[in-house]
Structure 1
Amino acid sequence: MEYGFVRVGAAVPKMKVANCEYNCSRIVDLIKRADKEKVKFLVFPELCITSYSCGDLFHQDILLKEALRQLENVLKDTKDTDLIAILGMPVSLNNQLFNCSVVIQSGKILGVVPKTFIPNYSEFYEERWFSSGNKALVDTINICGQSVPFGIDLLFEDSQNSDLCFGIEICEDLWVPIPPSSYQCMNGATLIFNPSASNEIIGKYEYRKELVRQQSARCICGYVYTSSNVNESTTDVVFGGHAMVAEYGSLLCESERFLDDDQLIYSEIDLQKLINDRRKNTSFMEGVVDKKYRRIFFNQKESECMELTRYVPAYPFVPSNSANRDLRCKEIFSIQTSALAKRIKHTGLKYSVIGISGGLDSTLALLVTAKTYELLGISPENIIAVTMPGFGTTDTTYTNAMDLMKAMKVSIREINIKDACLQHFKDIGHDVNIHDVTYENVQARERTQILMDLANKLGGLVIGTGDLSELALGWCTYNGDHMSMYSVNCSIPKTLVKHLVRWVAENMVDKNVRDILFRILDTPISPELLPPSAEGEIKQKTEDIVGPYELHDFFMYHMIRYGAPPKKISFLAQKAFEGKYSKDEINKWLKVFIKRFFSQQFKRSCLPDGPKVGTISLSPRGDWRMPSDADSKEWLEEVE
């Protein structure tokens, strides 16, 4: 299991009703196909050996005995495969018939799990044939010459890794108020397999998919579902062959419905991510019920290095679908404006003071502030927008800032900071020609001092402009742009800031403002603290110094959201940015990220208030508590 990933699959075999020999031949073929694809666990539909729609034929002894004979053939024909397969068949036991899942590996039966909830409504008549697993009188069964565990209390666990543990629920079990998988997951299962026979009616496809997705989210698990296909009986209903692999609320892959042939789908479940979130979510085990589960242990061969088949988004904070991205931007912008509105109403302050550089972050902060004032019915003239040209200001950013402020109809202040900084250099004895950190930070602190003092003079609130990515990297001057009275961008990563500004440009402003915003979007990211080039162009480009923000946002997401170790982050980044960054480039910037993330915690320990908008926040009062003097040695060594 490399980097915590395990490959799981769902099979939809072509079948013939009541023809066990034919059905098992298809099952064997699919098991062998999946084994070649390095699938470790494969689930088949409910009652796949006989087919689900046999009706009263389930009372025919010949069918039940043939199912057992064909199961023996499957065991013989797959004894050289290592994967664990979950097959459906009827099992006669103690004067009862059970709808069961038989778990097999390398010619052996690991256990048999009967269905718990037996539907007997609408088109379902299962109680006519089957008993609930709750009514079983024994906990072992002799089947195919093997004595194996039997019951609804079975969990299957890797003897080498307790994180790899799976449970089984069958079809209807998922549709009840508290599915068995809820208890299984609270008792250690990280994977749930559901062999089903779910017929197709209008609207059921969407509902079924949502059930699987939501159960995987509530249980913080991988959920693998499969259902019978169109070759079941169509006497009264039609089955579509719907298979899905979901992980923690996300659908990783699904089958095409209504196909006449075999289907095999598979993907990788990230168990490391699931376990990390379970540990973090302390409510997860609060409702645990004292149910006694028997552990069935298994061993699997170590896989050779596998290529991930699942999609790894390069921009985890940004939805790839344009419609979803627009909805995300609308939601975030509403959170920002609502948060600022509450703060303004609470303080009763008349003015907001904001520094405008002509860059992305201050632009977004101004757009948020302007919309907030509109919602509160306050004139935009009460927004005091201050541009403060310094040694690194270029004509491009100065023009952007001035044009934006004019277009937004806010009150404009222009305060050149050069003379004040020169005086300060003189006061502290710093050579103005030495362009070091002192040279840069004097300018950042001078700007913050102006904003704070102006806010005090007018009775206003200084609006912070810094974003989440800058906080993660510490790319802000302590008690300079690091500080404000309310920070509206503090949990928005840099890769998302661009999309928010673009969304506002396309949806909330007139053409004049829109054109200015698109100019700002095309401007390189820079703190503009060093003098421009001889041609007047921006010389100090942030990403040339600290690295690409798209990489840092990727690193931040996987490290903070899921606790991924550096090796895994690098592995995922190589997949996500294949063809754009080499492994060496990724590791180079990953080391920069780790060093800066650890060394700059002291800045995050004293952040101003600001709203959380996504799954990651670095507020010391909210999501992130970290010692400022923690050692990054272990993380850096793993990158090496």
Structure 2
Amino acid sequence: MKDGFVKAACASIHVTLGNVKENAKQILSYIDQAHKEDVQVLVFSELSLSGYSIEDLFFAKRVLNECETQVEQIAKATKDHDMLIVLGLPFAYHNDLYNVALVMQRGTILGMVPKINIPNYHEFYEGRHFASGQGMDETVTYAKQTFPFADDLIFQDEAHPWIRIGCEICEDVWVPNTPSISLCEMGATLIVNPSASNHLTSKADYRRALIASTSARLICGYVYCNAGSGESSTDVVFSGHSMIYENGVKLKESDLFDEHLITAILDLSKMESERLEMTTYPNDSYAHYIPFRFDEHNLTLDRYYDPHPFVPSKMADRYARCEEVFSIQTHGLMQRLQAIHAKTVVVGISGGLDSTLALLVCVRAFDALGIDRKNIIAITMPGFGTTTRTKNNADLLMEELHVTRKEVNITEAVRIHFKDIEHDEHVHDVTYENCQARERTQILMDVANQAGGIVIGTGDLSEVALGWSTYNGDHMSMYAVNVSVPKTLVRYLVDYVSSTYDGVLKDTLQDILHTPVSPELLPADDNKITQKTEDIVGPYELHDFFLYHHARFHYEPVKLYRIAKVAYGDEYDDATIKKWLLKFYRRFFTQQFKRSCIPDGPKVGSVALSPRGDLRMPSDANVDLWLEALEK
């Protein structure tokens, strides 16, 4: 339960049609297996105790009575088991028969949920046997226990209130207005579905899409347990296709035609966080909340966390993402130029990744607008730390892209400024660095005034998050095309665009990709870069990971630290991750004043830091709570 995690499982047994005792025996076997694996929510398939395909045997007293007897035996056998167990069985009440999911924990039946939508078409003939449980709200006695029997039960863990479990059964998820909609509106964060969906060609694909979209639309976890091949009878075949999804993302899927126990760890507190931020998520406070209490479980996280959440791992997906992001950047700039009737831009070129990407965006935007590339004024501004490698790459880039190239050496101007403010040139402090950055920005702004154009900002999202810019220096521009692109993605964007070129230009872009990230504000050593950004602020891949989960899901510091250890395995030791996470929090909070006045720029992904749309945080917010939590 720690940090909002729950381990859930689907158990698809090999049903013996009509043999309730044998089915109960298998159910107990799977319960024992799940218990050994620290499963907390265990879901069996629809009508798993009796079998789904027994047709008119549902009316047989022998079957109904034995189901009740075996439920009583299962309850006795599991009284020491902490897990929440969801069983499917037929239940006779008053003058009707219902297809139900029975929920128990520690031998106590917490409640029973009826199936609402009863299919009676094509191969389905449930209307002959079962009544709809729509509107059911009763208290019943069964297997010597008394409990609620209703269609709106939500089972809530008193010790971990973000665990709120609702249930719908098979067909209920296939209809336009699913029970899970109202259950989630009433607060359910996890939906379980005991199902018996037969196998047809391509039906598995549709089923995946259905469960994925349902969990995404409702922002919930979804555990779908399907009946296996033991249900295959007469004209239908079942494949046991079970799945566990979390907010549209597949965590686990079973093999077809195989009895199984599949498990996955869901992050239900993340669902709650997502809903809190989504002001359009409906809230219906009415529900039958059934309390229970889980023991505290510190689960071993076996779920996957992408160490590069901004970058798709598959090459094809990565190229598609890069093209999409590059197009967003390009069209954002095109719109800005058209809106202000500007046909000239000015961009500073350092020979590094960020300025390269910004220039490539400008080139594509100008080509799309039919404006001569000569109206792109690219300025290289060598200074104390500029190396031959970056200078040559900048020159080659501008030459090969056929833009207007200018060079302004800032060394003497900065020295004059040092003299004006009485700063010792040999003291390589923050003043030494920022004077150079502001001198470069002044040049860009003034040239833009001369040309009647605008300055294009080059700083990326990772730098914005860490405040890694000089206030009113490279921090400022008239339109910042990279402002929502994280550093880890910038590299792949430049690599992607380089694949569309050949010759000298492609070679130059590839060399830029392999140049250490540096602002080059400190003197070079034997013409080699001495100031490497990641030596100072930490690895950008870590900071991008921290940024994604902090800004996107508002994780507690300890949880973020925990999942970072899972994501990076042995690549970074615990002390290193903690060191840079502390650095991330300190810089993220203390540098908000820079973000409060950043220029416009196109939002490209779900994480952005614009003060006008994505992050409204006071510049004086205190970071102590985050640091204290992590230190403890």
| TM-score tier after normalising by the smaller chain length | over 0.9
Q: Which whole-Å CA distance do the structure 2 matches of 1:210 and 1:428 have between them?
A: 65
Given that residues 135 and 150 in structure 2 are in contact (C-alpha distance below 8 angstroms), is that contact kept between their aligned partners in structure 1? Answer: no
The 5 Å alignment of 1:435-584 reads 435-506=428-499, 508-533=500-525, 535-584=526-575
| Letter paired with 2:425 | V
The 5 Å alignment of 1:125-164 reads 125-134=125-134, 136=136, 139-164=138-163
Q: Which whole-Å CA distance do the structure 2 matches of 1:203 and 1:300 have between them?
A: 39
Structure 1: gaps of 5 or more residues: none
Given that residues 155 and 293 in structure 1 are in contact (C-alpha distance below 8 angstroms), is that contact kept between their aligned partners in structure 2? Answer: yes
Where 1:133 maps in the other structure, the secondary structure is coil
The runs of at least 4 consecutive aligned structure 1 residues that moved more than 3 Å come to: none
Structure 2: gaps of 5 or more residues: none
Q: Which whole-Å CA distance do the structure 2 matches of 1:456 and 1:135 have between them?
A: 70
How far is the alpha carbon of 1:386 from its aligned partner? 0.7
Match of 2:209 in 1: 210
Given that residues 221 and 245 in structure 2 are in contact (C-alpha distance below 8 angstroms), is that contact kept between their aligned partners in structure 1? Answer: yes
Q: Which whole-Å CA distance do the structure 2 matches of 1:120 and 1:554 have between them?
A: 49
Q: Which whole-Å CA distance do the structure 2 matches of 1:433 and 1:450 have between them?
A: 24
**Residue 597 (str. 1) matches residue 588 (str. 2):** yes
Match of 2:240 in 1: 241
| Letter paired with 1:190 | T
**Residue 223 (str. 1) matches residue 222 (str. 2):** yes
Q: Which whole-Å CA distance do the structure 2 matches of 1:202 and 1:560 have between them?
A: 42
**Residue 619 (str. 1) matches residue 610 (str. 2):** yes
| Letter paired with 2:326 | F
| Letter paired with 1:163 | W
| Letter paired with 1:240 | S
Q: Which whole-Å CA distance do the structure 1 matches of 2:375 and 2:25 have between them?
A: 77
Identity %: 52
Given that residues 23 and 49 in structure 1 are in contact (C-alpha distance below 8 angstroms), is that contact kept between their aligned partners in structure 2? Answer: yes
Q: Which whole-Å CA distance do the structure 2 matches of 1:565 and 1:135 have between them?
A: 40
How far is the alpha carbon of 1:221 from its aligned partner? 1.0
Q: Which whole-Å CA distance do the structure 2 matches of 1:135 and 1:6 have between them?
A: 30
TM-score by length of 2: 0.98
The 5 Å alignment of 1:59-138 reads 59-134=59-134, 136=136
Q: Which whole-Å CA distance do the structure 1 matches of 2:176 and 2:232 have between them?
A: 29
Given that residues 322 and 493 in structure 2 are in contact (C-alpha distance below 8 angstroms), is that contact kept between their aligned partners in structure 1? Answer: yes
Where 2:53 maps in the other structure, the secondary structure is helix
Match of 1:174 in 2: 173
Given that residues 459 and 483 in structure 2 are in contact (C-alpha distance below 8 angstroms), is that contact kept between their aligned partners in structure 1? Answer: yes
Match of 2:16 in 1: 16
| Letter paired with 1:99 | N
Q: Which whole-Å CA distance do the structure 2 matches of 1:609 and 1:625 have between them?
A: 15
Where 1:140 maps in the other structure, the secondary structure is strand
Q: Which whole-Å CA distance do the structure 2 matches of 1:511 and 1:41 have between them?
A: 58
| Letter paired with 2:496 | W
Worse-superposed segment, 58-67 or 94-103: 58-67
**Residue 296 (str. 1) matches residue 290 (str. 2):** yes
How far is the alpha carbon of 1:368 from its aligned partner? 0.9
Cα-to-partner distance string for 1:413-433 (whole Å, 9 max, x where unaligned): 111111111111111111111
Given that residues 50 and 63 in structure 1 are in contact (C-alpha distance below 8 angstroms), is that contact kept between their aligned partners in structure 2? Answer: yes
Q: Which whole-Å CA distance do the structure 2 matches of 1:44 and 1:161 have between them?
A: 23
Q: Which whole-Å CA distance do the structure 1 matches of 2:490 and 2:101 have between them?
A: 49
Match of 1:2 in 2: 2
Where 1:113 maps in the other structure, the secondary structure is strand
Given that residues 448 and 480 in structure 1 are in contact (C-alpha distance below 8 angstroms), is that contact kept between their aligned partners in structure 2? Answer: yes
Out of 377, 380, 384, which is 2:373 matched to?
Answer: 380
| Letter paired with 1:376 | L
How far is the alpha carbon of 1:289 from its aligned partner? 5.3
Where 2:483 maps in the other structure, the secondary structure is coil
| Letter paired with 2:439 | E
Kindly tell me the number of residue pairs found equivalent between the two proteins.
631
Where 1:584 maps in the other structure, the secondary structure is helix
Q: Which whole-Å CA distance do the structure 2 matches of 1:569 and 1:577 have between them?
A: 12
How far is the alpha carbon of 1:135 from its aligned partner? 6.2
Where 2:406 maps in the other structure, the secondary structure is strand
| Letter paired with 2:271 | L
RMSD: 1.2
Q: Which whole-Å CA distance do the structure 1 matches of 2:91 and 2:217 have between them?
A: 32
Cα-to-partner distance string for 1:193-240 (whole Å, 9 max, x where unaligned): 011011111221111111111111111111111100112123112111
Where 2:261 maps in the other structure, the secondary structure is strand
**Residue 412 (str. 1) matches residue 405 (str. 2):** yes
Q: Which whole-Å CA distance do the structure 1 matches of 2:164 and 2:28 have between them?
A: 24
Q: Which whole-Å CA distance do the structure 1 matches of 2:149 and 2:418 have between them?
A: 81
How far is the alpha carbon of 1:160 from its aligned partner? 2.0
The 5 Å alignment of 1:277-292 reads 277-285=274-282, 288=283, 292=286
How far is the alpha carbon of 1:441 from its aligned partner? 0.5
